[in-house]
Structure 1
């Protein structure tokens, strides 16, 4: 694997969900610390980090973030019907948090190492059912992917990350799949999890 790239003083947004590379995340922003963070990212064109919460809650006192997260780049803003700011963010590179600090406003910032993109692998024959399952999930749950390039369904990494974000997985499973470095291994794990969701 190529050398990891350092990234200092990254604002972190601990959430109750995992953002995967290439995924999309819709957020409503209401706490001052995160409104300021979004303003900073919009002004500078920079990203923020999304990490799964290990301890604590999304609002209120600073939560303890997982050590591996994903860069999030804002791709759209909108005003919600409830008057709050809504954003749509897209997942980029994964990163490992080396150290964190909490600012006086409660915003967690961290020094992180960016992981390189994982190698591209075709979906192996023994896992060929998974892209078909993903296509059915997308039709029902993820309209943003309905017109995705058909070639993406041959990409083990893309299929694995999309399945991981659409299946109702447990929190520790979501994080473990994010931290895996081998896209084929991730698909194999998802194949072993799938029987849990099959109707009797």
Structure 2
């Protein structure tokens, strides 16, 4: 019987979005519970967890988070003209939530099992069209990826996560792309979804 991975406790930030490994995340923080969370994470140089909201809302009462999420590590801070704190974070390791509890201030904390990184696999020839599609999406929608090395497009995991990040998928599809553990299977599912976005 395989040993269970050790559990790590961390604050969870349920959002109406899915964060993928390597993806940037920009947030404006104004609720006291999340301002405290950002302070704690910055002080300890520790990540927080981002999970898609399954029930509830980003603001107000605690929302129900999806069971699989992604670590987010803060890389930059700013203050807007409206006085709100802005942060930039980057997606890291995926995790599965084992247990959650809600603090008195409404912040959800979870015990999570971290997932191993996906293997680096060469993009199979039948998915080369996806590389071209991603190049076009980046040119029009994601200038922050314009300087990605050519070798990144040959990595099935990177290609799949970037397509899932930029294509107009439904939330349940985005979450499924996060939860798949085989990067080539992710490319296959994305390829099968693509005809939906083609103009008639």
TM-score (norm: length of structure 1): 0.97
How far the C-alpha of 1:199 sits from its partner, in A, is: 1.2
- Can you give the 5+ residue segments of structure 1 that lack an aligned partner in the other structure? none
1:1-200 matched pairs, under 5 angstroms: 5-200=5-200
* C-alpha separation in 2, matches of 1:40 and 1:20: 23
| Structure 2 residue matching 1:181: 3-state secondary structure | coil
Q: TM-score, normalised by structure 2?
A: 0.97
TM-aligned CA distance change 1:147 to 1:3, over 3 Å? farther
Deviations 1:49-71 (CA, angstroms, capped at 9, x unpaired): 00000000000000000000000
**Contact 1:4–1:114 (CA under 8 A) maintained in structure 2:** no
Question: How much is the aligned-residue C-alpha RMSD, in angstroms?
Answer: 1.2
Structure 2: segments with no counterpart, 5+ residues:
none
Per-residue Cα deviation, 1:6-35 (whole angstroms, up to 9, x for no partner): 343210000000000011111010000000
SS of equivalent to 2:169? coil
